Amino acid sequence: MTTLAQIKELVGPLLARNTDLVRVGQLIAVRPVHHLLRGIFIDRTGDKERCRPRWMATELFSRLDSLPLGLGELLRHPDGLWWISDSSLPRTLA
């Protein structure tokens, strides 16, 4: 299962370069514009060295008991899941 520490290390350089982005747990979000949340959700897997990132967008004007991913899809990797150590992953997230 991918850890929050691994996610923080993975996206640290991306957040440093883009002040409009913020990390909230597994979510890398573009700071909300009005009532829309856009970002990349880094979903965990059964293997701490692998993850399943997806881009997502959802409205913020409904009561939320959980984070619905709304619109979005997986960021595909030819081998299926992404390795946290994959050097192309930060560029893909950007």
Buried b (16+ CB within 10 A) or exposed e, 8-25: eebbeebeeeeeebebee
Give pLDDT, residue 80.
87
The reported pLDDT for the residue numbered 72 is 87
Does pTM surpass 0.85? no
Band of residue 59 on the pLDDT scale cut at 50, 70, 90: confident
Q: With 80 as the cut, is the pLDDT of residue 61 above it?
A: no
Residue 52 dihedral angles phi and psi, to the nearest 5°: -135, 85
Predicted confidence (pLDDT) per residue in 2-46, tens digit? 888 999 999 999 999 999 999 998 999 998 777 888 889 899 899
